[in-house]
Chain A
Amino acid sequence: MARKQFQTLSEPMFYILLCLTEPLHGYAVMQRIEELTAGRVAVGPGTLYALVSRFEKEGIVSRIPSDEGKKVYCITEKGKQLLDDELDRLKNMINDSSSVLRG
């Protein structure tokens, strides 16, 4: 189910998963995405919350205990695999387009 649903990741999905390779709470994910992309990708709190909930339901991220009283999430092995696959897909696209456009 998760494989089909998240076969290709949208930009917000990709960056959320990328940020969650280290344990972070919601707002920290938003800040980290902004930092990583120099403001190019913006993820609003509602969008982030909905995506993380879907990821959690599919076992792509999991909640980890935190002393701060905030919900802290981290990517699971399944999520890492998804991210790796997406990275391969993107690399292939870059290689294909480079060979066509730049010889």
Chain B
Amino acid sequence: MKTLKKKRFTQEAYEYKQIEGKLEQMAAKGWMLVEIKNNTWYFEKIEPKQLQFNISFHGEEGIFDYPQGDEKKSLRELCEESGWIFAAENMIYQVFYSEKNSEIQPIYTDDQVTFPIMEKIIKRNQLIMLGMIFIFLFHVMRDLSNYHILKDVLKRPSAELPWSFLAVISILILLAFSEYWLSKNWQNIRVGRPMFFYTQTQIWIRNTLSYGLVGLYMFNTLSKLFDYPENIKLTVSILVILGIQIVVLRWVILNFKRVKRSKNKNIAIYIGSGVLLWIVGVFVIFNLIVSGIS
């Protein structure tokens, strides 16, 4: 019998109420959350139980901050002292549970306090999304200008405009949902109304629209490989180089974060490493093209 189940959840911070609800449903079906790794949530088979879940945010810590292990530990201890049992954690939050209907204080009891925490996390994600939009818009502009640096080598047509737009629209949908959540709750907090949360159906619509468009974009991009099989070798080489760059950058981030430094120094180190990797990558790809790998 299967005793371990993996599930992929989208992890927009403002969905935490839905996540708590899903975890309760899973526990009632006999699946208990034991670990979160990247976007994958691991569940272990248990006797079906009526549990309630609460999520606590330690989202003060951003990608450029030194890990606040001590802060996380203190928050966890406080929740545990209050009767919550720790289940798992990721970069943004810790998940706790307790018996359903037990007289335990919810982890967050004041929306006026919860909202600024969420706002900070969401704004940070929005900044990343805006960066991605900028990259895709650059891609659109490049196609629009009808000038493709690889055009002659790859013999690719430059008619990619609608597909790049799909990626932009996909990110805009995610941005719109998070922005609507923020503005709606900003108003709610001002007039003392409880916080608003999307329903599971609304989240499903968002995911279907957004990830569907990304899927189409990816499908189109990959299908081009098969349209021009002579390019496969070069494209695979580029993907391998990109993969290596991501692994190296991840290593840099994880290892440099072990030493306590100012946020500005961390930003300088990460951006510097990123630019250096990008230059090396472009140099290698350029050499591959010149040597006629395609």
A binds B: yes
Interface string of B195-228 (1 = CB under 8 A from A): 0000000000000000000000000000000000
Interface check B40, CB cutoff 8 A:
no
Interface check A98, CB cutoff 8 A:
no
Q: Which residue of B lies closest to A28 (CB)?
A: B81
Interface check A12, CB cutoff 8 A:
yes
Would B112 and A45 count as touching, CB distance under 8 A? no
Would A46 and B74 count as touching, CB distance under 8 A? no
Select one of B74, B112, B116 contacting A49, CB under 8 A. Answer: B74
Would A46 and B56 count as touching, CB distance under 8 A? yes
Interface check B278, CB cutoff 8 A:
no
The distance from the CB of A26 to the nearest CB of chain B, in whole angstroms, is: 4
Q: Which residue of B lies closest to A10 (CB)?
A: B112
**Which residues of B are found within 8 Å of A70, using beta-carbon distances?**
77
Interface string of A25-54 (1 = CB under 8 A from B): 011001000000000001111111111010
CA distance A49 to B117 in the complex (A): 11
Interface check B187, CB cutoff 8 A:
no
Select one of B71, B79, B114 contacting A45, CB under 8 A. Answer: B79
Interface check A78, CB cutoff 8 A:
no
Contacts across chains A and B counted by CB atoms under 8 Å = 64
Top-9 shortest CB links A-B: A46-B107, A44-B109, A27-B81, A45-B78, A26-B78, A46-B56, A46-B108, A44-B105, A45-B82
CA distance A34 to B1 in the complex (A): 47
CA distance A10 to B114 in the complex (A): 13
Would B82 and A44 count as touching, CB distance under 8 A? yes
The distance from the CB of A72 to the nearest CB of chain B, in whole angstroms, is: 11
Most chain B CB neighbours (cut-off 10 Å) among A44, A45, A47: A45
Interface string of A60-75 (1 = CB under 8 A from B): 0000000000110000
The DSSP consensus for interface residues of chain A is: helix
**25 cross-chain CB contacts under 8 A:** A10-B110, A12-B109, A12-B113, A26-B78, A27-B81, A30-B82, A42-B109, A43-B105, A43-B109, A44-B105, A44-B106, A44-B107, A44-B109, A45-B81, A45-B84, A45-B105, A45-B107, A46-B54, A46-B56, A46-B108, A46-B114, A47-B108, A49-B75, A50-B113, A53-B71
Would A49 and B110 count as touching, CB distance under 8 A? no
- Classify chain A's interface size: 10 to 19
CA distance A48 to B112 in the complex (A): 12
CA distance A49 to B82 in the complex (A): 12
Interface check B57, CB cutoff 8 A:
yes
CA distance A89 to B235 in the complex (A): 69
**Which residues of A are found within 8 Å of B60, using beta-carbon distances?**
53
Would A47 and B81 count as touching, CB distance under 8 A? no
Would A50 and B81 count as touching, CB distance under 8 A? no
Would B110 and A12 count as touching, CB distance under 8 A? yes
Q: Which residue of B lies closest to A34 (CB)?
A: B105
CA distance A55 to B150 in the complex (A): 56
Would B110 and A27 count as touching, CB distance under 8 A? no
Would A47 and B82 count as touching, CB distance under 8 A? no
Would A71 and B74 count as touching, CB distance under 8 A? yes
Q: Which residue of A lies closest to B79 (CB)?
A: A45
Most chain A CB neighbours (cut-off 10 Å) among B105, B112, B113: B113
CA distance A43 to B113 in the complex (A): 11
The distance from the CB of A100 to the nearest CB of chain B, in whole angstroms, is: 23
**Which residues of B are found within 8 Å of A44, using beta-carbon distances?**
82, 105-110
